[in-house]
Structures are given as C-alpha cells and as structure tokens.
Structure 1
Amino acid sequence: MSRYSKPGDSLDLRVFIPAMTVLVAVIAPLILFPESGPAMVNAAFSFATGQFGWLYMLAGFGAVVFLIGLAFSKYGNVRLGGPDDAPEFSYFSWIAMIFCGGIGIAIVNWAWVEPIYYFTGPPFGVEPKSPEAAEWALTYGQFHWGLTPWAIYCLPAIPIAYSMYVRRQPGVRLSEAARGVLGRYTDKWPGILLDSIVVFGVIGGVGTSLGLAIPLVSKLAGSLLGISPSLGLDLSILAIWTVIFGASVWFGLSKGIRILSDTNVILAILLLVFTAVIGPTLFMLNGWVQGFGQMLSNFVTMSTRTDPLAQSTFTQDWTIFYWAWWIAYAPMMGLFVARISRGRTIRELIVAELVWGSLGCWVFFAVWGGYALDLQISGALDVSAILSTEGIPATVLAILNTMPMPQLVTVVFIVLCFIFLATTLDSAAYVLASVTSHKLSGYQEPKRWIRIMWALILAVVGIVLIQLGGLKPVQTSTIVVALPLIPVLVILTISLLRWLKEDFGEQSRTAHMLIRSPDSETAGDAAKAPSID
C-alpha cells in the first residue's frame, strides 16, 4: 500500500499533548496568580520587543525583499502541484479565503481608529494633530497593514505548499516544510516541538481575535438592545460565533469556509461602498493616494527605523508590536494558505498575498480610516476624545452613529463582525485539525470529529479567558512566541531554496515549471482518495 493511501487522519497525540500542555502552562498562572501572572507575561513581552526590536524589523524587511526577488526569478514559475493539479478554487474564492483567514476581525476593529492614534501621537517628532500628522496617519495605516505583514504571512506558505504538492511529503505541518534543513530530525523531538509551538500560537492568535471582537460586538449589540455589556452577553455572543464557525468547519473547505469567505468579502465591499458614497469621497481618495506615495518613498526608512537616539516609543508600540503579531500568526496562515493553493504557481501565491492582500487592507484604511479622520479634522466628532476616555468599541459605535440610518448600519456591521471572525476561527480550527492529524496529505481533509473537537476547544478557551479577563495576557504570550519563530522562518526559507535548487536548479525558465517524481502519479492518485469522516 502506498504511504499516501493510508488514511493519515487519526489524531497525533505526539503533537496534541505537548501543545495542550503548553496552553495549560500559560493559562494556569492567570488562574492561580491573577496579579503576578499577567505581569510576568508583560515583562517577557517588553524584553522581547525591547531587546530584539531590530530583529523583528529586519525579519519584516527581509521577507519583502526575498519574496519580490523570488517572484521575479525563474522559480516564480514553479507550479505547486503535479501536471494534473488544477487550482481547487476559483480565483475570487481563493483570494477571499486568504484575505478573510489572515485579517479577520482585526481590520474592522482597527481601520476606524488606528489613524486617529497616529494623528494624536505621530512619529518623527511631528506636531500632534497637525496637517503633517494627518498625512502620516494615512501613511502608517497602509504601512502596518500592507506589504510587510502579507510578506510575513506568505513566507511560510510557499515551503509548506512545496512540501505538500511538489515533494508530496505527507503531513500538513511546519516541520515537514523544514525537512530540507531538519532532515531526519523532522520526525523527532525538534519537529514535534516546532509543531506544538505552532498549535499554541494558533490558539493564542484566536485569543487575540476574541479579545478584539467580543468587546466590540458586545458594545454594539448592547446599544441596539438597550442593555449594558456583561459576562452573559459576552458568552452569548461567543456561543453564536461557535455555532457559525463550527458549522463552517464541519462542512469543510469547499462547502463551508469558501462560502463563508465569499459572503464576508461581498458584505464588506457593500459596507465600504456605502461609507465611501455617504462620506468625504474625495478626501478618502486623495488621502489614500498621498499616503500610498509617502509610504513607497519612505518604505526603507519606515522598515528599518528603530529610533535609538530619540528613543521615542512609537516604533516599539506600533511597528515592532505589529511585526511580532504578524509573525505569531504566520504559521497558521502559512498552513491554511498552502492547503488551498494547490495548482497555483509560486508567483501567483506571492501576488495574491502581497498585492491583493495589501490592496484589500488599504481600501479599509482609505475608506473607514479616512472617514474617521475627516470627522476628527472637521470637528464633526471628537473621535480622539472618545477613544482616549471610552476605548475602541465606544469609538466605533460613535462613528457608526454619524452615518445615515445608524441602527441599520450597526446591524450590518455586527453581521460583518460575526462573519469576519468566524472566517478566522474556522481557518484556525481547520489548521489545528490538520497539524494534529497523523501524516495527513495535502489532498485530504482532517476528520470531521477532529475539526469539531478543535472548534469546541477554541470555544472553551474563549469562555475560560473571558471569565478570567485574561485575553490580553494570552495575546501578549502569543506575540512573545514570535521571537523564536523568526529563526524558524529562516529555516523554512533555506529549506525551500535547497529544494528549488535540487529540483529546478538546472532547468531553464519556462511558463510552468513542474517536477515529476518516480511515484508521483501513483502517489497523487492515492492521495486524492477522499478521507473517511
């Protein structure tokens, strides 16, 4: 029997148990030591970003440079699959799944308010609330949600997809993509440790998303229902989310996650168009164009600014924090995007993330960020005052209330929030099920019971953390994990380059570069056999 024909979808306890042990080890101090536990986590975060901020900056800039070079090289033509591997999803659905899985609830939370933070606390010694501060506010939103974040997301996706669809190695895991460097140690404790850290990072990333989403939706829903946010309301909202993303995970990639992502993008476009039409359209367009140009002309400076002399906290509070955040999410995104990218070329994958992913985020910041900034500058609403005194959820609610038909807009926005987070959660549950399945091939989906188990685990973790008020420490813990992930990304890159040189080093550039291993046809046919749920 071919190794690919074996149903490799049983739960792999070698990865599952260490990952859950790490998760418990992080949550336990929050329960046992509610005061000192979060303080220790914050100290670790301050050390990581304070002492190694330069490393985060170099990692982000290096990812952009490497991927642009790879896209323009002959290796950009390498197809992630065999001769008969056509793309599994339409181009629109593929882009929608990448965007929704990678950005989730964060974009609808920060696009409104992040430019206001920059406007009141600008970089480079610019005077707060000045016209120059407004220009940098529109620039830094595009920088922090543009090329570098998507390059960080894309970097692990390519070697993972290469491992699954070109090398046909069993196992939808980060460790398999590092086999070009780890060799026989992939199946030993270094590989198991790597995959366990990835599982913890994914769970912690979900904690981050919940920490952003639940207070926001609770505030918006409470305003419509005339009730104050409470633990009961938070848990009810979490229950609705669990049902939505649990059903999506149950139906799998084509019937669940794809449909939810398509719906999410269409609804987001409608709300963005509505805001652009009723808002200061010309200001949004001019602001985006100027911010885009300013970002491009200052990209290298912004990508390498550590501010060692003036020692302002802007870079550490924003850029380094964000780069750590994206790196912490990168394994999940790499695994998910790799799984849905069979049949695409390396160049197509790089363009999908760096170009379309960045453009999607820029549209949100141009429209919603521009709308909020115009309210602030024109004096129609003191957004910065509400933000500093009442927080982000109250600020978003106040901004929505300035629009025509505010209650209807708020309802639509709440639905968008539900779908946006659900697309992140179902992607997370799917990835967790894949990583903890034993030798799952890239042509199989993990067993439904494992997918649902992870959906329930994520829900339980959310309940526990909401009751403890411990979402922030788990978010911070996840970002600390980003520090050791930087050398992991380097290992993945070296592994990919070794494979590319070995497989295509002597081949001249062609439109589609393919590899056919001796057993590729047999392996591919066997691997395409449906998994048993």
Structure 2
Amino acid sequence: MNTPNKPGDSMDLRVFIPSVLVILGLIVPLIMFPDSGTLLVNAAFAFATGNFGWLYMLAGLSIVLFLIGLALSRFGNVRLGGPDDKPEFSYFSWVAMIFAGGIGIAIVNWAWVEPIYYFTSPPFGVEPSSNAAAEWALSYGQFHWGFTPWAIYCLPAIPIAYSMYVHNRPGVRLSVASRGVLGRHSDGWIGSILDAVVVFGIVGGVGTSLGLAVPLVSQLVSGLFGIAPSFMLDVGILLVWTAIFSASVWFGLAKGIRILSDINVWLAIFLLAFTFLVGDSLFMIEGWVNSLGNMTSHFVEMSLWTDPVGGSTFWQDWTVFYWAWWIAYAPMMGLFVARISRGRTIRELIIAEMVFGALGCWVFFAIWGGYALDLQISGALDVAGILDEGGIPAAVEAILNTLPMSEVVTGVFILLCFIFLATTLDSSAYVLASVTSRKLSGYQEPKRSIRLTWAFLIAGVGVALIQLGGLKAVQTSTIVVALPMIPVLGILTWSLIRWLRQDFAKKVLEPHLVIEDHRK
C-alpha cells in the first residue's frame, strides 16, 4: 500500500533553525562588511580551486565513469519504487522538469556568449581568434554543459530516490540517503549539520541564479521599454519572479511546477527554432557536429587537463569553476529529481539526465552559441568587444537586436527568462520545504505554508543582496561549499552500493528488480 499523497508533516525546527542561522551567518556579515567579507570569500574560493582544482577534475570524470558502469550493470534494472509503483509524470514532463529545474536561467545567459570567451581566450595554447580557437570555442561549450555536469546532478538523485522509494524511509534529505554509511548518526547532529549545509548551498545557488538573471532581464527591459536602469527596476523584476514561482510552489508538483516546466520547454524550442531558421543553419549544424566529435575524442584530456607546466589558468577559470558550480547545485537537484522519479529505473534516470539533459544543453549552444560565433567571425557584430565593454547583458541584447523582429523576439526572450528562473526557484523552494519538513515521505508533498515560507525567504534574501551588491559573494561562497560536498557525494555513493549489494545480492536477470515486501 502506498502512503497517501497528502501534505507533509510540520516543519522540523532541528533542521530549519540551523539552516537559517547558517544563511544569516554568511549574509549578514556580507551586508554589514561588504568589502572585507567579499575579500574573505574570494580568498576562500582561490584556496579551494587553487589547491584542490585537481580534485574537482578527478571527481567529475569519476562520476561519469561510475554512472555509465551503473547503467550498464544489472543494477540499472532496479526500479525506484515498489512492484506496483508507476511513474508519476509523463516522460516528456519528467524530462522537462529535470532540465528546467537544473539549468534555469544559466543556459539562456551563457549559451550566447560563452563560445565568444573561449574564442578570444582559448585553451591548450591555441592562438586567440583563430580557426582552431573557433573549433575549441564550440567544443568547450558542449563539454562544460554536457555529460559531466549532468552526471554530477544525477549521482545524488539515485541514493536519495532509493532511500525514499525502495527502503521507504521517511525524510527527503541527504542525511537519510547517507544512512547506509552514517547509520544512526544520520538522525543526530551530524545529519542535521549535513542538511543545514545543503540548505545553505541551495539558497546560495539561488543567489547565483539571481545574480545572472536580474542584470540580464533589467538590461533587456530597459532597452525594450525605455526604462532607466535602477534598483527599483531590479526589485520590480524580482517581485514578478516571486509571484510566478510562489504560485507554482503553492499548486505543487503536478499543477504548478510540471505545467511551468512544460511551458518553459516549448517556449525555448520556439526561440531556438526561430534562431536556427533565420541564422546560418548550415554553420550551426556543422559546428555542432564538429564540436561533438572534437569533444568526444578529447573528452578524457579535457576532463583531466591541469597544465602544470604551461601554467594556463583556463582549466581553473572555467572547468573547475563549472564543476564546483554543478556540485554546489547537486544536492538540490538530487532531492528534486528523486522526488519526481518514483517508478523509474536507475537506468532510466541516468539516461534522462546524462543523455537528454546534455542533449538539451547542446542544442542551446549549437544554435545560440553558433549564431553568436558566426556574427563574430563574419564581422557582422563585434560580440567580444561588447562583452569587454558592457558585460554579458549588453552582449545578449546586441545579439538579439540582430534578429528579425528583434523587439518581439526580445519580449519572448524576456518571458523565457522569467519562466526559466521561476522553474529553478520553485524547485528550490519545494526542495527546501521538503528538507525542513518532519519525516516527509516520498509520496507526500510538504505543506503549502512551509513551501511559501521558503519562497518568501528566497525573495527576501534576493532583495537584500541586490540592494547591497552581495550576490557575487554568495555565488562564490556557494562554490566554496562544493569542496566538502565532494566527500558527501562519496558517502552517498557508498551508501547506494552497500544497499544494492545487500538488497540484490543474487544476479537476477529480470526487466525490473524490486523488493517485493519492502513496505510490509
């Protein structure tokens, strides 16, 4: 018998209070002492990436190899649920929720301009702005948004979903999913600290998204409607976002987050198709095929390149930064994806993230990145010069203005930005509510009051940091948190392996492996 899908239990103050204290412990000093606080955070980031960059690189490749092996093994047949559990959502909606929740505003921000950065400052000692630099520009976009990031997202989702739906343990938390290693300590202060750090990472990840989204949308709204940039414009945009994702969180998974994710994907497909048709389609296709081949043939080299002799910082500035960013987001994505994956097999989950997630990102970079790179190479628009002078928002605005019906396209793009970030924010608020709910099962949704509490807390933190310029510091500190998250991911993996070996010791060749009496 399945547990009724009713609202979850009350808020668990053992997790909520330490989580809020951790958040305030960082944000309040940044607000009161912005200069010294930012310097301290930057020093911590430099220490983490400078001394342990190699660890991030090894972790990324190791996770990819582990998940490929897991998917191909007999354990790939394990169903994340009981014998009678069926998928809660259609395959399209499921993948759409995974993609929209995991990528958010970042893809529409970086897909246009990231290849331009690589083109002007390429890796491996390649001459800047050369033909070889152009090839690496598209290849590294595919690499940094391909198999490895989605593998990092996927790894924690599997043990969390296994704990929720195979062992039917109450508590949508990383501490519960670590029980295979931590044992009874997962219920004590060690588990509470782990969950509090996860909550901080999620809030910081939201700060990262806001740091990308608000300046971009402010720039576009300002140019489209002739409104002067101001703090009030930024707050107004944030309030619109708050209204959208609060409503989505209120209606829950099926009626809120799922519908918003579906709209998001269809709107993105429309804009991508439009750009593909009006741009140099052949250049985009050939660029994608060539970059895919280049990335695939050099995947291991790109994954482990640290250039100890040449002294290049490209791998630290980009690859280590991205891997840390994905690891910082991984707990949120793991918890969210686990919650929506009941009834799927481990193999299905790995394919959905590593294949379809990567493919979705590749389409963005092939079309929007290819379009921008073609503008740069052909001389139609000096995207690199605009990036240097005005930053990413100005560059994206200039690129959009080269498209036919640019005002209409910009308006649709702004709508896409709103929905893309809203899907990340509502997923974050939903996960935060789940983590801070007492003994919530995988068949229940957290109470609406707890969901809205986190929605408004996220909005409040965003307003404070926008006003005082602390978004960048929170973003950087979140990535620093990714360093201790690497051993946490190791603990989750260890827990999963122990459970799989204990529960399915015999080599049973069946379409799906389930524990028949796990709820009896």
Which position in structure 2 is the counterpart of 1:273? Answer: 273
* Residue aligned with 2:283, SS: helix
Which position in structure 2 is the counterpart of 1:61? Answer: 61
Which position in structure 2 is the counterpart of 1:513? Answer: 513
Which ranges of 4 or more aligned residues in structure 1 deviate by more than 2 Å? 2-8
Q: For each residue in 1:111-148, what CA deviation from the matched residue of structure 2 results, as whole angstroms up to 9, or x when unmatched?
A: 00000000000000000000000000000000000000
Which position in structure 2 is the counterpart of 1:526? Answer: none
Report the more deviating stretch, 305-314 or 104-113: 305-314
| TM-score, normalised by the number of residues in structure 1 | 0.96
Which position in structure 2 is the counterpart of 1:434? Answer: 434
CA displacement at 1:33 relative to structure 2: 1.2
Question: Is this contact kept in 2: 1:153–1:329, CA < 8 A?
Answer: yes
Q: For each residue in 1:231-285, what CA deviation from the matched residue of structure 2 results, as whole angstroms up to 9, or x when unmatched?
A: 0000000000000000000000000000000000000000000000000100000
Report the more deviating stretch, 373-382 or 505-514: 505-514
Which position in structure 1 is the counterpart of 2:501? Answer: 501
CA distance in 2, matches of 1:278, 1:42: 42
Alignment of 1:281-360 (within 5 A): 281-360=281-360
CA distance in 2, matches of 1:25, 1:409: 42
| Long gaps (5+) in structure 2 | none
CA distance in 2, matches of 1:377, 1:7: 55
Alignment of 1:202-221 (within 5 A): 202-221=202-221
| TM-score, normalised by the number of residues in structure 2 | 0.99
Which position in structure 1 is the counterpart of 2:52? Answer: 52
Which position in structure 2 is the counterpart of 1:462? Answer: 462
CA distance in 2, matches of 1:490, 1:228: 49
Which position in structure 2 is the counterpart of 1:71? Answer: 71
CA distance in 2, matches of 1:34, 1:151: 35
Question: Is this contact kept in 1: 2:8–2:447, CA < 8 A?
Answer: no
* Residue aligned with 1:35, SS: helix
Alignment of 1:107-186 (within 5 A): 107-186=107-186
CA distance in 1, matches of 2:98, 2:7: 27
CA distance in 2, matches of 1:336, 1:462: 21
CA distance in 1, matches of 2:5, 2:348: 29
Which position in structure 1 is the counterpart of 2:452? Answer: 452
Question: Is this contact kept in 2: 1:4–1:441, CA < 8 A?
Answer: no
CA distance in 1, matches of 2:438, 2:226: 49
CA displacement at 1:197 relative to structure 2: 0.4
CA distance in 1, matches of 2:92, 2:292: 25
Percentage of matched positions with identical amino acids:
73
CA displacement at 1:509 relative to structure 2: 2.2
CA distance in 2, matches of 1:262, 1:107: 17
Q: For each residue in 1:205-253, what CA deviation from the matched residue of structure 2 results, as whole angstroms up to 9, or x when unmatched?
A: 0000000000000000001111221100000000000000000000000
| Long gaps (5+) in structure 1 | 522-533
CA distance in 1, matches of 2:403, 2:7: 54
Q: For each residue in 1:19-77, what CA deviation from the matched residue of structure 2 results, as whole angstroms up to 9, or x when unmatched?
A: 11111111122122121110000000000000000100011000000000000000000
Question: Is this contact kept in 2: 1:219–1:228, CA < 8 A?
Answer: no
Q: 1:80 to 1:3 in 2, by over 3 A?
A: closer
Which position in structure 2 is the counterpart of 1:377? Answer: 377
Question: Is this contact kept in 2: 1:4–1:170, CA < 8 A?
Answer: no
Amino acid corresponding to residue 268 of structure 2 in structure 1 = A
Question: Is this contact kept in 2: 1:208–1:471, CA < 8 A?
Answer: yes
CA distance in 2, matches of 1:41, 1:105: 24
Residue correspondences, number: 519
CA displacement at 1:4 relative to structure 2: 8.8
